[in-house]
Amino acid sequence: MKHTVPVDRLQPGVFISITGLGWLDHPFLLNRFRIADVDQIKILRSLGLKEVEWDPERSTAQPLPEQQELAAEEDFSAAVIASMLDTKRDRTEKVRAQREGLARCERLYEQEATGVHDILRDLNSRPAESYGRAKATIGRMVGSLVGSQSIAIHLVNMKVKEPGMAQHAMNVAVLALLLGKAAGLDEEQMRLLGLGGLFHDIGKIEVPARVLRNAQRTHAEEQFYQAHVGYGVKHASVIPDLATSVKNIIACHHEHWDGSGFPNRLQAAKIPRLARIVAIANRYDNLCNPFDLSTARTPGEAVAFMFKREAARFDPELLQIFVKSVGVYPPGCFVALNDGSIGLVVETNSKDLLRPLVMLYDPGIPRSEALLIDLREADAKIDSVLNPAKIPLEAVEYLAPRGRVDYYIEGVN
């Protein structure tokens, strides 16, 4: 039930909504907010508003009784409005720059993913050339991270709902580099780690799609699936001068810390460290982006599942670092802000993981112009993480039309 109140009965502490106005038609940062001072009430009057919606649950004060309505007085708010509009224009320009930055990351991701597709396709027929291109691809990623003070993780909006092996390889390489950087790997180790992330599943080209896609495999099908590790090692043998560390990632990315993995049931420190890193990145991406997207977990659910249900599989130290690296609000998770808005985390910075960049759902604004709010610079904060199954479908389709979680990372100084 909606509650409305005359503007003249407002006082500081009343939480209001002015969603009837377009975001550019008023000087406030958000369309829903708690009244902070009397000047904001004067501005509401100057906008021609006679009454507004108010939310009793989010209010820290009640509207004034009718007999205590504020007496009309001369309006001195014009200068305040002008100043607020100037500030908002500056914010609008910053939002435009942030939107362009996200679009740039999407273009770079798609360019690299297309290149990775070609590398994997040509690996057997032109191994030396493909390996050289793979080293160049990983070199660009690592070059951005080396020496950087922090890492920005960007959510990218892929143009296709069902990408192939190249996108998975890209995601695993990106996530592995994120973890490797946080774990203190040097530049050479990072390059080897990235190459292993790209090549970890090259053996799957030998496994029929019906087996790969089947979540309920028979024993025989599971054996066939697990054979992709051996096939991968065989394909890697044709790559000239491929480092042993990269071969070990291909051979060991399904080994588990507790010895329950395959193919050799290696345990703990017997599993090469870079393979342990790729194992975490691989599992996270498979949980977020399974073949059947109806079974996909949100980034937050994936992290919680790995930490609470599967922790025995992973190096405990590396798993802790990974959880800290992706943060409490990983890009791709849906959140509720303290003003009632629904948003999608689209970017985090390792320096301040609790205050990410959020895209807000507003059906009155085209998605291509969606409002981005940097919580490091706003009064708003995240109240809770939302399950997409429990929020309106139109909000999910607006914020995450592809249903996938793909990341691009870059160093920030």
- DSSP assignment of 257-303, as one string? TTS--SSS---GGGS-HHHHHHHHHHHHHHHHS-SSGGGPPPHHHHH
Least confident residue range of 30-39, 220-229, 341-350: 30-39
3-state secondary structure (DSSP) of residue 173:
helix
pLDDT recorded at residue 258: 98
How many beta carbons lie within 10 A of that of residue 410, not counting itself? 16
Residue position matching structure tokens 């791709």:
332
pLDDT recorded at residue 52: 92
pLDDT recorded at residue 26: 83
Whether omega for the bond prior to residue 27 falls within 30 degrees of 0, making it cis, is no
Give the C-alpha distances (Å, rounded to integers) separating 47 from 63, 238, 306, 319: 19, 71, 51, 52
Q: Is the pLDDT of residue 345 over 80?
A: yes
CA–CA gap between residue 362 and residue 179 (Å, rounded): 34
pLDDT recorded at residue 45: 87
pLDDT recorded at residue 78: 61
Least confident residue range of 70-84, 182-196, 197-211, 338-352: 70-84
pTM of the model: 0.84
**Arithmetic mean of pLDDT, 341-362:** 92
**With pLDDT > 70 as the criterion, what percentage of the chain qualifies?**
92
- 31: DSSP letter: S
Calculate the average pLDDT of the chain: 89
For the chain, the structural domain boundaries read 3-76, 96-326, 334-412
Query: How does pLDDT run across 179-213, given as a tens digit for each residue?
Result: 999 999 999 999 999 999 999 999 999 999 899 98
Second-level CATH architecture of 96-326 = Orthogonal Bundle (1.10)
User: Residues of 104-134 as b/e, b for ≥16 C-beta within 10 angstroms?
Assistant: ebbebbbebbebbbebbeebeeebeebbebb
CA–CA gap between residue 102 and residue 37 (Å, rounded): 35
- Of the candidates 91, 11, 14, 5, the one whose C-alpha atom is nearest the C-alpha of residue 50 is 5
Q: Is the pLDDT of residue 285 over 90?
A: yes
Per-residue confidence at 357, pLDDT binned at 50, 70, 90? very high
**With pLDDT > 90 as the criterion, what percentage of the chain qualifies?**
62
Q: Is the pLDDT of residue 67 over 90?
A: no
Query: How does pLDDT run across 238-282, given as a tens digit for each residue?
Result: 998 999 999 999 999 999 999 999 999 999 999 999 999 999 999
* Cβ atoms 97, 48 nearer than 8 A: no
Query: How does pLDDT run across 305-336, given as a tens digit for each residue?
Result: 999 999 999 999 999 999 999 988 999 999 99
- Of the candidates 80, 321, 347, 300, the one whose C-alpha atom is nearest the C-alpha of residue 178 is 321
